[in-house]
Amino acid sequence: MLQRLLSGFTALVLLVVFTSSVHSQTFENTFQKFSNNFIPERIHLHLDKSSYATGDTIWFKAYLINGITPVEDSKTLYIDWTDPSGKLISRSTLPIISGVAFGQTEIPPAFAGNAIHLKAYTKWMLNFDSAFLYNRDIPIINTNEIAGTKQITTYQFSLFPEGGDLLYGATSKVAFKATDGYGNPVHVNVNLMEGNKAIQKVNDMHDGMGFFYIRPIRGNQYSVSWKDPSGKEHTTSLPEIKSSGVSMQLLITPDKRTLLIQGVGSNAKGTFHIIGTMYNQPVFNIERSMQDSSVTAIIPVNTLPSGILRITVLDSLYHPLSERITFINNNEFKFRTDMQVAHWGMNKRARNELEISVPDSLGANLSISVTDARLDLDTTQNIMTDLLLTDEIKGKVYNPAFYLGNNEDSTQKLLDLVMLTNGWRKINWTDLAAGILPKIQFNKDTSYMTISGRLYGATPGQLQNAGDVILIVNQKGKSDWIMAPVNPDGRFDATNFILFDTATVYYQPPKGKGLGNVSVQFSEKRLPTLSLTNATSPFVRDTSGRSLQFQLSRQLMDELKFNQTKVLETVTIKARTKSPTQIMDEKYTSGLFSGGDSRGFDLVNDPSAVAFTSIFDYLRGRVAGIQISTDNPPVLSWRGGSPALFLNEMPVTSDVISTIPVSDIAYVKVLNPPFMGATGGGGSGAIAIYTRRGDDQQSTPGKGLSRNTVTGYSVERKFYSPNYDLTDPEQKDLRTTLYWNPTVRITPGQKTATVTFFNNDISESFRIVIEGMSPDGKFTRTVKVME
């Protein structure tokens, strides 16, 4: 997708030349494979609040991007939640659908730290530098945190030559960055020293960052003297100054980048390649010959997608000489979300309705939180800063939202300091030049978590057309019968079943071909826990918003968590009495199987059913015209053909039905011909068998079969928002999050969506935060306060 969008860009770049050498062809072929197969994925999490108290629930929605469009291939998201010491608190494993995933995690009531660290990633992301996994610290408010702050006493000062190297005789820009021990910026005064003499005095321009120019002279010694906020003076040596290489200077204007390259020593002459990449995708490839030890290239950027552009200078053999990044902001990455109040309740527990709208042509996948406006709000990061900026660079960016708040020249110059003072995603150009691609250790999770495994102890001949493994999945009193086809290598996969939580699985291998004694081993698709990360960020303590959050959370726990209390009025409805068979039909059947010309058998309320050894014995003689042989498996005939057989509305064969104990069957429906739900038109009708579930369970499913325990995705809870139009409990409503909805979908052409929530007992104003993503990878964020 990104390549298609960028296909017209190369034509705009002047002086593009492609050589036909064998080496060049090898590089271009390898680079094409790399760009097609190694696009990194990026993540943003929208939380319902900015800070939490112990015992709270963190509600979240994850947005995932691959290049410039929502993730499609990866199907599983992992989130590790750790305490300040790096100890794992919990792990969320979630299905990714259309580039989003959502869930919740509980903060233990006894949690003692002032922050929880989350690390979010997909399996595919583990093939890249771990620095680009999504990391975030969440402030946790408790008594210890409000009591005081920890003093920060250490400072760091780093120097970053533009393009990577300092060269004798070449003028270079050198950026610097000063931070405290937590990575937060500090103000510094800087002196560039030549020996013991100060030759240039510089102050930081913004958030501890600044720059100076230097043209090193061979034989001189250079260093930087700087003074930290406590007044202590430090000396930092300049990076190594080289005698040969390439220096790079980049001039930034709104619609283009002007690149000045100077060669020194052995690199003063020769052919150079200038390659631009975004998200590991090629943007341009310029080949130039060095003239008078310098080259200038003008790169138009007004047709590029917004994000980080990496510019690399390579020699004639495609070995890297110089590299730097620049941020492209063409403002095409966002769309506007409007919010209108359709109904505003002025009283406690009153109903509110909001109408959310997006441009007609887009459609959007949104998440919405409504909180007490007195709570603190993190304005430093959002969906745009994460997915366009901080997910693509190493190191902490302080207040990234500042740099995307506007596109003024002054802001872009400060943003370029961020580009100069942070690391970025690297490509191993030397390997690509040698035709070597990165090694893939973790393939993408291209299928959802289900029940899969492998048969052992069978010959290849036995596994050819072996049939199905019967799986009975038992969870919380409900059983699902699943047929999983066995592949020629013995593997099986219940592809149409997505597994949540933990389940007991009873299983039976195919009975044919002598497979009754094979062993079954289930596969574990979940990744093991990664090395854990400490929460390191300091937070401002005892702000009024966080103090309020703490007080209300304590009261809420004293009220036994209002959102766990549901009081429902008893409603008596008089209606025509339905027969047990009608009730069973409505409970179990759906689609083409419901209603129609048929006859049903309610085995739950038929005490005679348990006397039969198979359901075919039970049915024999009960339906006029159906002939059932006594063979094993039986042969059925009806009106000149064989009726179609279904288990829980999935087509099966009679040998499968024969294995199901009659005590596990709740309902049988015989559908008179023709039955349109069967293959070939159902000229001989159909028999649908339904296994017991819920309160119809009277026996242990799969009794006598082998079993195993398997684990799937984390259980997703629905955010509880009371409906005071229906009930009005006595408990005081102290909710600080009044509404959270991660599943607001607006399809193209629909334009609007309506959400409803109710006031609590304490809030006088509300803050509404909307974030979202369009199908083509544009983003939105809207924040409004309603009085």
At 401-458, the pLDDT tens digits run 999 988 899 999 999 999 999 999 899 999 999 999 999 999 999 999 999 999 988 8
Residue 250's φ and ψ, nearest 5 degrees, are -120, 125
Arithmetic mean of pLDDT, 767-776: 96
In this prediction, residue 528 carries a pLDDT of 75
Cβ-based neighbour number of residue 727 at 10 Å: 11
Helix (H) or strand (E) holding 309: strand 307-314
Residue 453's φ and ψ, nearest 5 degrees, are 180, -160
Q: Taking CA 698 as the corner, what is the angle to CA 694 and CA 703, rounded to the nearest 5 degrees?
A: 105
Distance CA 735, CA 549 (A): 10
In this prediction, residue 292 carries a pLDDT of 78
Q: Which residues contact 648 (CB under 8 A, 6 or more apart)?
A: 480, 481, 689, 690, 691
C-beta separation of 350 from 356 below 8 A? no
Distance CA 692, CA 591 (A): 19
Q: In one letter, which amino acid is 289? A: S
The predicted-structure confidence for 218-228, as pLDDT tens digits, reads as follows 999 999 999 99
The predicted-structure confidence for 121-154, as pLDDT tens digits, reads as follows 999 999 999 999 999 999 998 765 444 445 557 8
In this prediction, residue 742 carries a pLDDT of 97
Backbone φ/ψ region at 581: left (φ over 0), alpha (ψ -120 to 50), beta: alpha
In this prediction, residue 680 carries a pLDDT of 67
Q: Which residues contact 215 (CB under 8 A, 6 or more apart)?
A: 169, 170, 171, 172
C-beta separation of 167 from 191 below 8 A? no
SS3 359: coil
Cβ-based neighbour number of residue 396 at 10 Å: 16
604-610, long-range: CB < 8 A, 24+ apart: 604/580, 604/666, 604/667, 604/692, 604/696, 604/698, 605/580, 609/662, 609/663, 609/665, 610/662, 610/663
Distance CA 716, CA 501 (A): 9
The predicted-structure confidence for 20-51, as pLDDT tens digits, reads as follows 466 678 898 999 999 999 999 999 999 999 99
| Per-residue tokens: 639 | 């009106």
pLDDT, greater one: 234 or 641: 234
In this prediction, residue 514 carries a pLDDT of 78
Alpha carbons within 13 angstroms on the beta-carbon side of residue 172 total 31
C-beta separation of 77 from 93 below 8 A? yes
Among the listed residues 65, 45, 166, 164, the one whose alpha carbon sits nearest the alpha carbon of residue 116: 45
For residue 160, how far is the Cα from the chain centroid? 33
pLDDT, greater one: 663 or 486: 486
pLDDT, greater one: 605 or 539: 605
Residue 569 predicted with pLDDT over 50: no
Dihedral over alpha carbons 615, 617, 620, 626 (to 10 degrees) = 60
| Percent of the chain topping pLDDT 70 | 88
Arithmetic mean of pLDDT, 662-679: 87
SS3 759: coil
Q: End-to-end distance of the chain based on CA atoms, in angstroms?
A: 44
pLDDT, greater one: 543 or 107: 107
The predicted-structure confidence for 237-279, as pLDDT tens digits, reads as follows 999 999 999 999 999 998 999 999 999 998 888 889 999 999 9
C-beta separation of 75 from 713 below 8 A? no
Q: Which residue has the tokens 């008596």?
A: 572
Instruction: Read off the DSSP letter of residue 81.
Output: E
In this prediction, residue 576 carries a pLDDT of 57
The predicted-structure confidence for 87-102, as pLDDT tens digits, reads as follows 999 999 999 999 999 9
| Percent of the chain topping pLDDT 90 | 56
Cβ-based neighbour number of residue 229 at 10 Å: 12
Backbone φ/ψ region at 389: left (φ over 0), alpha (ψ -120 to 50), beta: alpha
What is the residue-averaged pLDDT of the chain?
A: 86
Distance CA 730, CA 728 (A): 7
| Per-residue tokens: 734 | 């102290």
In this prediction, residue 329 carries a pLDDT of 95
In this prediction, residue 303 carries a pLDDT of 93
Residue 210 predicted with pLDDT over 90: yes
Residue 738 predicted with pLDDT over 90: yes
The predicted-structure confidence for 287-321, as pLDDT tens digits, reads as follows 988 877 888 999 999 999 999 999 999 999 999 99
Distance CA 503, CA 496 (A): 16
| Cα–Cα separations (whole angstroms), residue 152 to 183, 186, 243, 244, 640 | 11, 11, 40, 41, 87
C-beta separation of 123 from 39 below 8 A? no
Residue 633 predicted with pLDDT over 60: yes
In this prediction, residue 13 carries a pLDDT of 37
Residue 693 predicted with pLDDT over 70: yes
Distance CA 444, CA 201 (A): 51
Distance CA 23, CA 318 (A): 9
For residue 618, how far is the Cα from the chain centroid? 50
Among the listed residues 761, 721, 752, 732, the one whose alpha carbon sits nearest the alpha carbon of residue 48: 721
Instruction: Read off the DSSP letter of residue 424.
Output: B
Q: Which residue has the tokens 């596990």?
A: 664
Backbone φ/ψ region at 489: left (φ over 0), alpha (ψ -120 to 50), beta: alpha
| Per-residue tokens: 751 | 């334009």
In this prediction, residue 21 carries a pLDDT of 60
Beta bridge partners of 652: 645
Q: 281-285, 526-530, 663-667, 717-721: which has the minimum mean pLDDT?
A: 526-530
Distance CA 736, CA 734 (A): 6
Distance CA 110, CA 55 (A): 8
| Per-residue tokens: 379 | 């304005």
Distance CA 536, CA 531 (A): 16
**Residue 575: which pLDDT band, with cuts at 50, 70 and 90?**
very low
Residue 557 predicted with pLDDT over 60: no
Widest Cα–Cα separation across the chain = 109
Q: What is the DSSP string of 283-306?
A: EEEEEEE-BTTEEEEEEE-TTSPS
Alpha helices in 527-673 (DSSP H): 544-558, 580-588, 615-619, 654-658
In this prediction, residue 591 carries a pLDDT of 84
The predicted-structure confidence for 154-188, as pLDDT tens digits, reads as follows 899 999 999 999 999 999 999 999 999 888 999 99
Residue 15 predicted with pLDDT over 70: no
Residue 636 predicted with pLDDT over 70: yes
**Residue 118: which pLDDT band, with cuts at 50, 70 and 90?**
very high
